[in-house]
Structure 1
Amino acid sequence: MNKNQENSYIYILINLVKSTSFWSLISGVTGVFAFLLGGGLYLTFEEMSDVLLLVTSLGAILILLAIGLSPRAIAIFVSGRRGRFGLNAALMTLAVFIILLVANYFMFTNPNRIDVTATRFFTLSPQTVSVLKDLEDKNQKVVAHAFFVENTASENTKTTVEDILNEFSRKSENFSYRFVDPEINRSEALNFGVTKYPSVVFSYNDEQNYVVTNFTEQEFITGILISTGKRQKTIYYLTGHGELTSTSDPMFQKQEDYGLDLAIAGMQRDNYFVLPLNLQQFEVVPSDASVVIIAGPDQDLTDIEYEALVNYAKSGGRILMMLNPNPPKLFNDLIYLYGVVVTPQKVADAISNVGGETLTPLLQKANAQFATSAVHQNINIADDISVAFFPDTAALQTAPPEEFALRDHITFYELAATTPISWLVAPGEDPEYNVEKYTGQYTISGVIEATGTFEDLGSTQDLFKLVVFGDSDFASNKYFYSNDNGDIFLNSVNWLAEDYELISIRPKLVPYREFVVNSLEKEFVKWSSWVFPPLIMILMASIVWWRRR
């Protein structure tokens, strides 16, 4: 390169630097880049919103500066053929962007949602919506304070909590929520009595607080009900006759398989005050008993205990009775007063059972083995029960339907039954089927509503409600969390206690889905998602350019 060429390049460079068109171009390109980058990231990273808003504003200023530095050149460009095409493309892009923003705004502010998950995980139950609506009707303002430490481990849990609380806030203007980092605001956490993280505190009027550490829709509704002052009902479970009872060892944190600990914990989560009841000590059922639970006794009642339970039933009590095959006589006599007995035999089911064990009938909603509120109005215990099993269950024998039809004061509702290919197995008998066995559908759970005993000619007492099962093992620690066993137990308690809103707010199943691929398939997914979309766009752009060339 000779000296004249060097001088010419320097001359061109100096002219470019002096030219307003050059700086207009630099400002325009930089401004567009900063505006798009800052605006895009502003919508993505909330924690950097201040800096990104500054970058976006700076980009807009540079674009205006570019127009101000060279308005004539821009006017010529816009009025030209390329300018018109470019301007049209820019306006169309801007229009699409604005339409997306407006659509997103209306979708965000609209409380209606379309839940496409298989288990309707994000759909609130009707009873939850009713509880939230009551906040507005009663002008009660509830605030949820979610205490989460900012770390990656709790991010998924935080997302789940925020999804549920966000749906709550959309359904009621009187419900709001906020997230607090307890490591930064430790004093606030201590003021709410929170020492375990993560936790959610439901507060009403900044006075009544309820702490939740299990993050489900049901737990959150319980928190709202308790914080707004709903009365805590008392549930008693009978002891002293070999029943299932609390077996927790606080020192070793263990519990026996055939205990009632998980059922008790479930009732406590439903906002019940759960206490043992020894009738040998009190000789009367306490007047504050909302429900009395009798779970698998193997020893009989005394006459005084029997009379105490009969008096409780006749005073309009509520009893959940889970008896095993061949139960003690006076327990069977108690339900016999209302036309039902538990058989001494076990039920075997050849069609629907657990692992080929015919003495463990498996009841399935798909087989129409549960009676829902569509069959028995106002009895919704089994509405959301899909599968439950009852190891070594007995059958319920009742008076003939025509006998019940003659008694308007007493009604029996079948709640659950085996398949038609079932038979009874006597103690010590081979459970295998033989041709001499009578097969049929056997009731293993039922509901009684009565204002008099079976022998009465009419109403003689307050309305008594009884839910009876021919098995108690399904509610034990060993099987409580198997299938829907725990739910049908808790639903029975809720129905007897007339807490119908809790029946429909059981925790929803979160399905686990895994996309399993080998190494070649993984590489195909990766490269096809990286390469194919840009190639398709380049191909479309090339076709458009060729046609307009």
Structure 2
Amino acid sequence: MKTLQPRSILLKYWRYLFWSGPILTVMGISAGMVSGGWTSIPLGLIISGIVIIGLWVVFLGRGGNSQQPQFWNRRSTQVSTNVLVSTIAVFVILGLINFMVSRHPTRIDLTEGQLFTLSPESQQVVQSSPAVKVWIFDSQQNSQDRDLLENYQRQNPKFSFEFVDPEANPGLANSFGIKNSGENRDVYLELQSSKRRQFVQSISPQTRLSENRITSGILQLTSDRRSKVYFLQGHGERSLDAGQGAISQAAQALKDKNFVGEPLNLGLTEKVPADAVAVMVVGPVRPLLEAETKALQDYLNQGGNLLVAVDPTIKSGLDNLLNLWGVKLDDRVVINASDRQVRGKGPTAVVIAQYGEHPITRDFRNSNSIYPLARPLEITPVPGVQSTPLLLTDPNSWAESNLKEQPLKLDGGDRPGPIALGAAFSRQVTPSAQPSPSVSPSPQASGSPSPSPSIAVSPSPSPTPSAAPFVQGARESRLIVFGNSSFATDGLFGQYLNGDVFVNSVSWLSQQEQQPLSIRPKDLKNRRIALTNEQASVLGFIALVAVPLLGLTSAGVVWWRRR
């Protein structure tokens, strides 16, 4: 019987011991990844496995049979080693490439219109901006919006964004004053250092995040200059401080929108301050003096913006100024005869559910806003003035001329609905250093009230045919008139869409949508090929029949010839 030497026994069974090497190595790698740290135990297992594999390779090359070539001298070993080394080299190269890409990411946009790349203006703005965060109050994360925000984040690591479900986190949503309505979802910018916040836009399935809005919002938020709006005082107007009939909530809402509201007394100053983006005349109870009216007219002639909200029976002293724009404050009171009446307010509390086609009310749809004790507007076309009714009453409502008559009903002297309670106006003006002409009634705007609805004269936001053409150096002056001021007072401001009507009006007056930074939208060109039915049939036959048949025929010919 042949006795095996210890060395022969070791070589014979060494191949079985080899498997402990890979097992120990895999155990060590798994332990290190699971524990999150490469401690002594995972490293010891990996080293033990590598040592066993190394010893196996060394002993495998020292065969005991002198008639057989040693392991390292075999041709199969050399070929296998070359393949193994090549494979390891490929993986190492790929690993190094991925490591470099992760440390220095670079994206190449090969689309013709650079659809997935920020414009140079946006890149410059976000790269130089401090830490800014975008809050999207939407439970659904739209992939298109996320890609746009990630593009901003690639330009500046200090730029961040977060999607927030307002229902799951109502406290955070309330701190921002979120009022998501319908399909609209609010988007805000926040400056991390000072926690200043800026409303960006509302998004919906039809309207996604806009690069122009985000970049312009970053510019406004990081700028030291904040837009100033002045509230006229001295005639019993609504107070900016909290109290009965005050508009402190409206002033705070404007502050949250990056506006600065300050009082203005034209009896103490000769003109409107030059830094005013808009002037508010909200709820006066005494008429303005002629000099004050002239100061407002001069301001409008220089491209200024004015909001007027006057309650019924009040003589504002602004009639001549408003006539130049083609609007008159009717002395009657609107009666709400529809089924949408406010409990405890009576028929003089008008509920508005119909709005004009205008940027201020574009997203309101059929939501309600409330206007207790409102007066109608009479709108007359004026050359060069673009007018758009904003708030339209129910057709069953009317303007009552005698509230003492009971029961209230539509009769002689009354004006049938629908009626405009608010309207927006704009015109092109050429600022000059010369004083404006004295305010006098416009011939186009004069005349007695018509019994027909005044909103019918200008139902479209498009300019009138006689509108003055745009000239070099011209600016746009804007005016908004409401026949009610109590809708913006504390208590009513937060109900329904009242606050949105007021804040949107101020935003439109400030002309913030006309930013000096203009980013053209990226258009996706249509590259589709239009095929006729015959062309589609031929193409389908070639792809599904001809090409596969040609391949099978070629394979059959090659097989036959080799046979």
- Tell whether the 8 Å contact from 1:222 to 1:270 is kept in structure 2 after alignment: no
Aligned pairs for 1:117-136 (under 5 A) are 134-136=121-123
**1:337 Cα offset (Å):** 3.0
Q: 1:470 is matched with which residue: 483, 489, 509?
A: 483
**1:32 Cα offset (Å):** 4.8
2:391 aligned with 1:416? yes
Paired with 1:363 and 1:481, the residues of 2 have a C-alpha distance of 15
**1:239 Cα offset (Å):** 0.5
Quickly say closer, same or farther: Cα 1:371–1:304, change in 2 above 3 A. same
Residue 313 of structure 2 aligns to a residue whose secondary structure is: coil
Residue segments in structure 2 that go unaligned for 5+ positions in a row: 1-12, 60-97, 110-115, 161-188, 202-212, 430-440, 445-465, 516-563
- Tell whether the 8 Å contact from 2:126 to 2:215 is kept in structure 1 after alignment: no
**1:300 Cα offset (Å):** 1.3
Residue 424 of structure 2 aligns to a residue whose secondary structure is: strand
Aligned pairs for 1:270-281 (under 5 A) are 270-281=257-268
Aligned pairs for 1:149-548 (under 5 A) are 168=149, 170-171=151-152, 173-177=154-158, 201=191, 211-212=194-195, 214=197, 224-226=218-220, 229=223, 231-247=225-241, 255-344=242-331, 345-355=333-343, 357=345, 358-364=347-353, 369-372=354-357, 379-385=358-364, 387-399=367-379, 404=381, 407-426=382-401, 428-429=403-404, 434=409, 439-450=416-427, 454-455=442-443, 463-500=476-513
Residue 142 of structure 1 aligns to a residue whose secondary structure is: coil
Paired with 2:244 and 2:342, the residues of 1 have a C-alpha distance of 18
- Taking every aligned residue pair, what percent have the same amino acid on both sides? 21
1:102-149 deviations in Å (ceiling 9; x for gaps)? xxx9xx99999xxxxxxxxxxxxxxxx999863325685113078xxx
Paired with 1:385 and 1:410, the residues of 2 have a C-alpha distance of 25
Quickly say closer, same or farther: Cα 1:172–1:28, change in 2 above 3 A. closer
Quickly say closer, same or farther: Cα 1:335–1:227, change in 2 above 3 A. closer
**1:332 Cα offset (Å):** 3.8
Quickly say closer, same or farther: Cα 1:216–1:231, change in 2 above 3 A. closer
Paired with 1:34 and 1:446, the residues of 2 have a C-alpha distance of 75
Equivalent AA in structure 2 for residue 177 of structure 1: K
Quickly say closer, same or farther: Cα 1:23–1:395, change in 2 above 3 A. farther
Q: What is the alpha-carbon root mean square deviation over aligned residues?
A: 5.1
**1:276 Cα offset (Å):** 0.9
- Tell whether the 8 Å contact from 1:349 to 1:360 is kept in structure 2 after alignment: no
Paired with 2:237 and 2:117, the residues of 1 have a C-alpha distance of 37
Equivalent AA in structure 1 for residue 240 of structure 2: S
Residue 449 of structure 1 aligns to a residue whose secondary structure is: strand
Equivalent AA in structure 1 for residue 246 of structure 2: G
1:311-364 deviations in Å (ceiling 9; x for gaps)? 323333210112222332413443233221223313415144445855444434
Paired with 2:190 and 2:47, the residues of 1 have a C-alpha distance of 45
Equivalent AA in structure 2 for residue 170 of structure 1: N
Aligned pairs for 1:55-66 (under 5 A) are none
Residue segments in structure 1 that go unaligned for 5+ positions in a row: 1-18, 42-47, 73-100, 113-128, 147-155, 180-198, 203-209, 248-254, 373-378, 503-549
Residue 491 of structure 1 aligns to a residue whose secondary structure is: helix
Residue 292 of structure 1 aligns to a residue whose secondary structure is: strand
Paired with 1:370 and 1:56, the residues of 2 have a C-alpha distance of 70
**1:278 Cα offset (Å):** 0.4
- Tell whether the 8 Å contact from 2:375 to 2:483 is kept in structure 1 after alignment: yes
- Tell whether the 8 Å contact from 2:122 to 2:215 is kept in structure 1 after alignment: no
Paired with 2:117 and 2:342, the residues of 1 have a C-alpha distance of 38
Paired with 2:483 and 2:302, the residues of 1 have a C-alpha distance of 25
Residue 419 of structure 1 aligns to a residue whose secondary structure is: coil
Quickly say closer, same or farther: Cα 1:169–1:36, change in 2 above 3 A. same
- Tell whether the 8 Å contact from 1:353 to 1:362 is kept in structure 2 after alignment: yes
Match of 1:84 in 2: none
Q: 2:128 is matched with which residue: 132, 137, 141?
A: 141
Equivalent AA in structure 2 for residue 381 of structure 1: I
Q: Normalising by the residue count of structure 2, what TM-score does the alignment of the two structures yield?
A: 0.52
Paired with 2:501 and 2:232, the residues of 1 have a C-alpha distance of 19
Equivalent AA in structure 1 for residue 418 of structure 2: Q
1:148-203 deviations in Å (ceiling 9; x for gaps)? xxxxxxxx9xxx9xxx9996453364433179xxxxxxxxxxxxxxxxxxx9656x
Quickly say closer, same or farther: Cα 1:175–1:496, change in 2 above 3 A. farther
1:75-96 deviations in Å (ceiling 9; x for gaps)? xxxxxxxxxxxxxxxxxxxxxx
Q: Count the aligned residue pairs.
A: 370
**1:67 Cα offset (Å):** 6.2
Quickly say closer, same or farther: Cα 1:171–1:333, change in 2 above 3 A. same
Quickly say closer, same or farther: Cα 1:232–1:28, change in 2 above 3 A. same
Paired with 1:142 and 1:166, the residues of 2 have a C-alpha distance of 20
